Amino acid sequence: MGKVYVFDHPLIQHKLTYIRDKSTGTKEFRELVDEVASLMAFEITRDLPLKEVEIETPVIKATSKVLSGKKIGIIPILRAGLGMVDGILKLIPAAKVGHIGLYRDPQTLQPVEYYVKLPSDVEERDFIVVDPMLATGGSAVEAINSLKKRGAKNIKFMCLIAAPEGVEVVKKEHPDVDIYIAALDEQLNDHGYIVPGLGDAGDRLFGTK
Ligand code: PRP
Ligand code: URA
């Protein structure tokens, strides 16, 4: 069964409070999402493999560790996932970025796929699927389905805020996928919004409505 990690670091919790606050404007919202994505990327990369290399310090020859060059792919779910990409790339700049476009039908709440563009070497990469919100779980499940259908084997899912309902759905449909969350909220409301949540992530990020 996939593991669920909730990052309750004080810096993340502090920034999330301002992300949630409805009086936070688009510019600040964007900056905060970017910062939290970086902080989460620091944790999510904790298990990246290392290899030893020989170096010469000013004092002595030594062996030291560098990243082994594992290939990483970041997959934002459009639109709102885009807000998390740069923050992750600050820490792993060599990662490639694919895109999966999904929107949630407001009546059925079912995800509708409208765009997929992935790195060509899907089978060789480890993927981090990113989206600020995991609500019913439909979008995350569909994005992961889409990646797996094209050959992806190692996938992590990272979001800012999750509802317990969505976490259960992803765990059930994709038990091999670990889930990384900044905050696990209480529930969904009747419109499929996370409570207390932050509202519509895409609209707040891009200033639309
Ligand atoms: C939001 C959010 C997730 C999805 C979560 O996207 O960014 O992708 O809803 O809901 P779910 O877990 O119930 O599927 P939305 O459909 O509003 O599209 P947008 O990012 O283009 O605004
Ligand atoms: N999508 C959002 O942007 N916010 C929610 O609370 C649920 C789905």
Architecture of the domain spanning 4-206 = 3-Layer(aba) Sandwich (3.40)
Kindly tell me if the per-residue pLDDT of 104 is higher than 90: no
What does DSSP assign to residue 209? -
Q: How many helices (H) and strands (E) does the chain have?
A: 6, 13
Higher pLDDT residue, 107 or 123?
A: 123
The structure's pTM equals: 0.95
178 sits in which H/E element: strand 178-184
Amino acid (1-letter code) at residue 175: P
Assembly ipTM: 0.97
pLDDT tens digits for range 121-161: 999 999 999 999 999 999 999 999 999 999 999 999 999 99
Q: Which residue has the tokens 């499929």?
A: 192
DSSP 107: T
- For ligand 2, the distance from its centroid to the CA atom of residue 146, given in whole angstroms, is 21
Whole-number Å distance between alpha carbons of 69 and 159:
25
Q: What's the 177 CA to ligand 1 centre distance in angstroms?
A: 19
**Closest ligand to 20 CA?**
2
Please tell me whether residue 125 adopts helix, strand or coil conformation.
coil
Ligand 2 cavity residues, CB under 6 Å = 133, 135, 192-194, 197, 200-202
Identify which of 103, 198, 203, 205 to mutate to test ligand 2's pocket (most ligand atoms within 8 A of the CB): 198
Q: Is residue 7 scored above 90 in pLDDT?
A: yes
Catalytic positions: 104, 108, 200, 203
Task: State pLDDT tens for residues 168-207.
Answer: 999 999 999 999 999 999 999 999 999 999 999 999 999 9
Specify binding-site residues for 5-phospho-alpha-D-ribose 1-diphosphate: 79, 104, 131-139, 200
Q: How far apart are CA 144 and CA 45, in angstroms?
A: 19
Strand, helix or coil for residue 115: strand
